[in-house]
């Protein structure tokens, strides 16, 4: 009897914390993956071409929302839950829940701030979606990674995605008309040389500015170029040089 009670207690040990960590990891994982896919499409279709942004943004949203809401249904478990050693099971019938149950608990994730608060103060480790779908999240009894291994694997996955996004962003931007127009403007005199991939891009439908590492006689670290689109042609509005170091990288698009 004591052994059975210990096993039951172990099934719910720290599941609230693990669910939070799994959810945060899944958000970071899917956003990085979606942004990488977003840029990889830019290797086929220029990211400054007409209609690309609408297609790519909606594709990214479908990937992120689809995985967060229906990841457990499609892949049996989300990567975050796998790394933290938890899984979804039925409350009325132990084992993998039905498709209908996964859909119910997935749909309620749309109100995840409310669901998070409900779970935090819940005495039975359930959120609203769990009660509606008759499911609960428990510790896996077999093939469970220890916390250190899960952390290392998860961290490695996120770092790999960061580098994948960085490289795909750099290559995709180099294929654009605005980059090549800006590059020609900077290097036409022969006094400036571009030394690497673009660090920062802020793009709209008809304007863009980007920061790229350069070298010249003044030993500047970066150049920032402002361009505007008229019809199908990009032209440079202005450019300036920056001596301070630009930390990290960024790509942004707005309508």
DSSP state of 80: H
Query: Does 126 share its domain with 103?
Result: yes
Is residue 63 within 8 Å of residue 29, measured between CB atoms? no
What does each of the 255 residues of the chain score in pLDDT, given as a tens digit? 444 334 555 787 788 999 999 999 999 999 999 999 999 988 888 998 878 888 888 888 888 888 888 888 888 889 999 999 999 999 888 788 888 998 899 888 888 889 888 888 888 889 999 999 999 999 987 767 788 888 999 999 999 999 999 999 999 999 999 999 999 999 998 888 998 999 999 999 899 999 999 988 878 899 999 999 998 899 999 999 998 888 889 999 887
Query: Does 135 share its domain with 107?
Result: yes
DSSP state of 47: T
Give strand ranges (E) for the chain: 86-90, 135-139, 193-194, 200-203, 207-215, 222-230, 233-242, 250-253
The encoded tokens of residue 88 equal 């979804």
Query: Does 117 share its domain with 17?
Result: yes
Q: Position of tokens 């109100």?
A: 111
- Positive or negative, the CA dihedral 217, 218, 223, 227 is negative
Q: Which domain holds residue 189?
A: 176-253
Query: How many domains in the chain?
Result: 2
- In 3D space, the residue among 73, 76, 96, 251 whose CA is nearest the CA of residue 179 turns out to be 251
**Could you tell me the CATH number of the domain that includes residue 200?**
3.10.450
Task: Please state the pTM of the whole predicted model.
Answer: 0.84
């Amino acid at each position: 009897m004591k052994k059975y009670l210990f096993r039951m207690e172990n099934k719910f040990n720290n599941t609230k914390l693990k669910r939070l960590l799994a959810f945060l990891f899944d958000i970071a994982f899917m956003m990085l993956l979606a942004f990488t896919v977003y840029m990889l499409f830019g290797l086929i279709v220029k990211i400054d071409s007409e209609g690309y942004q609408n297609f790519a943004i909606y594709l990214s949203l479908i990937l992120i929302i689809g995985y967060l809401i229906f990841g457990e249904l499609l892949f049996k478990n989300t990567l975050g839950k796998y790394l933290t050693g938890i899984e979804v099971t039925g409350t009325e019938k132990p084992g993998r829940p039905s498709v209908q149950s996964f859909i119910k608990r997935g749909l309620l994730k749309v109100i995840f701030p409310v669901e998070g608060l409900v779970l935090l103060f819940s005495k039975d480790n359930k959120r609203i979606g769990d009660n509606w779908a008759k499911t609960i999240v428990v510790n896996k009894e077999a093939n469970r990674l220890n916390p250190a291994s899960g952390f290392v694997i998860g961290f490695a996955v996120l770092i790999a995605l960061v580098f994948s996004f960085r490289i795909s962003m750099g290559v995709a931007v180099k294929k654009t008309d605005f980059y090549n127009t800006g590059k020609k403007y900077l290097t036409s005199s022969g006094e400036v040389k571009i030394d690497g991939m673009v660090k920062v891009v802020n793009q709209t439908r008809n304007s863009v500015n980007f920061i790229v590492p350069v070298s010249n006689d003044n030993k500047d670290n970066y150049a920032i170029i402002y361009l505007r689109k008229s019809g199908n042609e990009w032209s440079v509005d202005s450019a300036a040089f920056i001596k301070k170091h630009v930390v990290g990288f960024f790509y942004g698009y707005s309508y």
